[in-house]
Amino acid sequence: MIKLEGISKSYKIARRASGLRQAAKALFYREHTIIPALNDISFSIEPGEIVGYIGPNGAGKSTTIKVMSGILVPDSGNCTIMGFNPWRDRVQYVKNIGVVFGQRSQLWWDVPVIDSFLLLRDIYKVPQKEYENNLELLVGALELQDILNSPVRQLSLGQRMRCEIAASLLHNPKILFLDEPTIGLDAVSKIAVRQFIKKINQERGVTVILTTHDMSDIEALAERVILIGKGKLLYDGKLKELRSRFGTEKTITVDYHENNYPFQIPDTTLLSWSPVRAVISVDTEVVLTSKVITQLSSKVDLIDVAIESRPIEEIIVQLYKEYQI
Amino acid sequence: MKLYFKYLLILFKSQMQYRTSFWLLSFGQFFIPFTVFAGLYFLFERFGQIKGWDFFEVALCFAVIHMAFATSECFARGYDAFSGLVVNGEFDRVLVRPRSTVVQVLGSKFEFTRFGRILQSVMVLCWALMNLSIEWSVVKAITLCLMIISGVLIFTGIYIVAATMCFWTIQGIEVINIFTDGGREIAQYPLNIYQKWITKFFTYVIPFGTVNYLPLMYILGRTEGNDILHMLTPLIGSLFILPCLLVWHFGVRHYRSTGS
Amino acid sequence: MSAYYSVLKLRLLNGMQYRAAALAGVATQFFWGFMYIMIFEAFYEYSPYTPPISLKELITYIWLQQSFLAFVMLWFRDNELFTLITSGNIAYELCRPCEIYGFWYAKLLAGRLSSALLRSFPILIVAFFLPEPYSMTLPPNVVTGILFLLALLLGLLLLVAISMYIYISVFYTMSPIGSTLMIGVLGEFFAGLIIPIPFMPDWLQSIAYMLPFRLTADFPFRVYSGHIPQNEALNGILVQLVWLVGLVWLGRIALNKALRRVVVQGG
């Protein structure tokens, strides 16, 4: 469905001088530096996948999205999406995709949301029947009934983002690009947005490509992640594998009836201990969690056990460090 | 074209959300060229004529060009205010939609407050026409309309070229004011009052001459020859927009390969 | 004084970053200058009477106007101050250890000076070497030159004092549109920027002479060419001083009153 082969792209940037003399010099002469943004990026995505596209700021995420959505023409490389070349067949191609830029709005600020939707219907030439069906579906799923008639400027960020997502799905796109869809949202809105993305992926088979800095988005949505840093592709695979490769440690917190003797379980590290609670770190490659709990229950009178994986965020931080990005 | 009107409608609705500021600004737009016109009037009061043109002839010229200018500012404002669209990245949004970039950019902004300005030019036009003895004919009336329409297209063409420059730099594009504001100021007098090179530049490069000087001579009955040919002069001027559109498409291609 | 110097330096530095903008500004001003000169040339060519100001004096007037545009335009505005007032962030400004009128005055003055420094000299220098009849002339004698500099400087100070009223009015209207428009349009006209004052009919001239606007542009420009004789120029400079003192004094009172309003309303 989506196939990128050896995409490269670099930008030319004028250097800004500081200081009066430098500034005066810059009046006549300016230096340029060439900054590579993407370096030989290749991957392919199957229909119906949800892919998390991650990387630190300036890694080349938005550049890739721009190439895939036909905004930018790369310096070299090939890209075929649904049989189209995004930049050569722009007008034909973009009918099939929806794009949400989390930091910008595609809605008209001062008019009711529904007016924006109507205009988008005309822009995408959506047949009336199809538009009505879609609208009904989207309004229901995203709970837009009450806000459809208020101007966008009066909406909260969460409400607005729900409208933005609806707006990019009115024309039934096969692929949805989401650039930081949850940025700035509160917990409730985040969950609502995620659930909806999952839903349209499952029910309509929409392929979703998602960039975000919020790893919980990725955990909740994406089975597959693509990691990019300094314009290079660093990892492409299942989130689970990433976790098992880098996140084999788990933390077990146990509460028990008062016990005044510290205990030790083989192959684990005791992180903290008190008469009623202990926190233990376990490497699951060395010993199974279930075994640890069995041993625990023989030593103390257990009340409650909580097992936490190492947060994905930490794994990513470690990854960034490892790749020095 | 249908889509353009939809854009027009939705932005008109937006504007109506701020009614007071709309009326205030329209009122201001009515007055800004007023002092300029007053200045013109006082100069004629003192000098009586300018190279053989009298006050009402120049007033007609003034009205036509100001009307064209105000109309283009109203309906092609999207191009006039294009640098903002590039700076905040909104132009990317235009590119992910399956419609021509020209219509979308035109539709991105309208400046309805320019109606105040249009209204003022209409008043000047009426005043001038009432005081000029012109032998009217259908062809002449059409010529007058074409003068205004072609004027709008020429100004729009200049905006488009200016907007295209934004793809390379957003600095210094105020130089284009020479052709928009400057063109308007120049063309509010019949072009033959200037030095030859100015007249030539604004006839052959930016064809304001085809929408004011040449057809004006015809309407005032100072020419001989085929009426229809004179009527068509403004249309030749309006062809100016074609190379501008070409330049625009070139600019869009550049933007997409550099992503400024 | 050093604070003022750093404000000016910062502005200059900022301005130089935009080399293209400055160049574009110069080019635009030249175009404008040529256009006005040609229009007047055409008017003069078949004039039945002797015009009230000679073409040479007028050409000098136009070049001065183009090069010192930053000194004479009321439109030139500082949007930072507008947002400061309308957004209510003015409260921070009140915490500064200096008087607001003086501080804003310095800020506005610096804005105009830095803009003029980058643009006026290139225009002036080139204007002297233009081919006839477009070239600009030197003032007839040294005394006139000194009087011009004095008048120009006082004119600038006066203009900033007038523009302060636009900002003060925003405290009451909460929108810069109306006041900028009215003061801008009328001020521009009565400063002689649309047509020089001598071209106006007599009744309008007498109105213009009663208002302070013409002292910011028309007056210094005509002192330069000697169109206004030296003794009259001295008189004019005295009038400028009186207006300046009066307007600053009143502006201060008005601003303080406006600020008290803000404090009472709690911003």
Contacts of B93 in chain A (CB under 8 A): 99, 101, 104, 106
In 10 A of CB C227, how many CB atoms?
20
Q: How many CA atoms lie within 13 A of C96 on its CB side?
A: 13
Q: Does the beta-carbon distance from B10 to A111 stay under 8 Å?
A: yes
SS3 readout for chain A = CEEEEEEEEEEEEECCCCCHHHHHHHCCCCCEEEEEEEEEEEEEECCCCEEEEECCCCCCHHHHHHHHCCCCCCCEEEEEECCECCCCCHHHHHCCEEEEECCCCCCCCCCEHHHHHHHHHHHCCCCHHHHHHHHHHHHHHHCCCCCCCCEHHHCCHHHHHHHHHHHCCCCCCCEEEEECCCCCCCHHHHHHHHHHHHHHHHHHCCEEEEECCCHHHHHHHCCEEEEEECCEEEEEEEHHHHHHHHCCEEEEEEEECCCCCCCCCCCEEEEEECCCEEEEEEECCCCCHHHHHHHHHHHCCEEEEEEEECCHHHHHHHHHHHCCC
Which of the 8 DSSP states describes residue B50?
A: B
User: What is the pLDDT at residue A239?
Assistant: 85
CA angle C179, C185, C187 (to 5 degrees): 90
Q: How confident is the model at residue C267 (pLDDT cuts 50, 70, 90)?
A: very low
- Judged by CB atoms closer than 8 Å, whether chains meet at A20 and C17 is answered as no
**Across the interface, do C16 and A20 touch by the CB < 8 Å criterion?**
yes
Q: Which chains lie within 8 Å of chain A at 3 or more CB pairs, if any?
A: B, C
First-residue to last-residue Cα distance in chain C: 30
Which residue from B213, B166, B167, B153 is spatially nearest to B186, judged by alpha carbons?
B213
Strand-by-strand arrangement of the A232-238 sheet: A97-101, A175-179, A207-211, A50-54, A224-229, A232-238
Separation between Cα atoms, residue B49 and residue B58, nearest integer Å: 9
Give φ, ψ of C26 to 5 degrees: -60, -45
Query: How close is the nearest chain A Cα to the Cα of C16, in Å?
Result: 6
Query: What pLDDT is attached to residue C2?
Result: 66
ipTM over 0.95? The verdict is no
Share of chain A above pLDDT 70, in %: 94
Banded model confidence at residue C37, pLDDT cuts 50, 70, 90: very high
Give the pLDDT band of residue A17 (cuts 50, 70, 90): low
**CA torsion through residues B112, B113, B119, B120, sign:** negative
CB A292 within 8 A of CB A265: yes
Nearest chain C Cα to A28, which residue? C19
Separation in Å, CA of B28 to nearest CA in chain C: 7
Contact (CB<8Å) A26/C19: yes
| Burial of residue B20, with CB atoms counted within 10 A of its CB: 0-12 exposed, 13-18 middle, 19 or more buried | exposed
Cβ–Cβ below 8 Å for B182 and C31: yes
CB contact under 8 A, A124 and B97: yes
Token digits of residue A103: 């930091």
Is the distance from CB of B144 to CB of B60 less than 8 angstroms?
Answer: no
Report, at the CATH architecture level, how domain A47-243 is classified.
3-Layer(aba) Sandwich (3.40)
Q: What is the mean pLDDT of residues A86-96?
A: 90
Closest by Cβ to C43, choosing from B35, B47, B172: B47
* Pick among 2.40.30.10, 3.40.50.10090, 3.30.70.250, 1.20.120.1460: CATH of A248-309: 3.30.70.250
pLDDT of residue C32 exceeding 80, the answer is: yes
Exposure string (b/e) for A179-202, b if CB count within 10 Å is 16 or more?
bbbbbebeeebbebbbebbeebbe
Task: Dump the DSSP string for C200-242.
Answer: S-HHHHHHHHHSSGGGGTHHHHHHHHTSS-HHHHHHHHHHHHH
| Shortest Cα–Cα distance, C120 to chain A (Å) | 17
Distance from the Cα of C104 to chain A's closest Cα (Å) equals 24
The closest CB to that of A97, out of B3, B6, B96, belongs to B96
DSSP state of B157: H
Confidence of residue A60 (pLDDT cuts 50, 70, 90): confident
pLDDT at C65 over 90: yes
**Facing C201 at nearest CB: one of B42, B177, B189:** B42
Average pLDDT over residues C160-185: 83
A307: which strand partners? A252
Which residues in chain B show pLDDT less than 50? none
Interface of A with C (CB under 8 A): 16, 20, 23-24, 26-27
Q: A104 pLDDT band (50/70/90 cuts)? A: confident
Q: In angstroms, rounded to a whole number, what is the distance separating the alpha carbons of residues B51 and B42?
A: 16
Q: What confidence category does residue A81 fall into, taking pLDDT thresholds of 50, 70 and 90?
A: very high
Question: What are the strands of the beta sheet with A76-81, ordered from one edge?
Answer: A32-45, A2-14, A76-81
Whole-angstrom Cα Rg for chain A: 25
Enumerate the residues of chain C whose CB falls inside 8 A of the CB of residue A25.
none
Render B81-105 in DSSP notation, one character per residue.
Answer: THHHHHHTTHHHHHHTSSS-HHHHH
Q: Which of C14, C118, C195 to mutate to test the interface with B (most CBs of B within 10 A)?
A: C195
pLDDT at A278: 87
Yes or no: say if B225 and B195 are a contact pair by the CB < 8 Å rule.
Answer: no
Q: Which residues of chain C are within 8 Å of residue B47 when distances are taken between CB atoms?
A: 43-44, 47-48, 51
Residue type, B87: V
Q: Which of A186, A98, A199, A91 is nearest to A140 (CA)?
A: A199
Ranges of each domain in chain A: 47-243, 248-309
- pLDDT tens-place string over residues C79-131: 778 877 777 777 777 776 667 888 888 888 888 887 787 788 888 889 988 88
- Looking at residue C187, its amino acid is G
Amino acid symbol at C73 = M
> Taking CB atoms and an 8 Å limit, are A91 and B98 in contact across chains?
yes
Tokens of residue B110, six digits: 């309208």
Chain-centroid distance of CA C91 in Å reads 29
CB atoms within 10 A of CB C115: 20
Chain B residue with minimum CA distance to C47: B47
pLDDT in tens, B156-205: 999 999 999 888 877 667 778 888 889 999 999 999 999 888 899 999 99
- Comparing CB atoms, the residue among C39, C194, C201 nearest residue B45 is C201
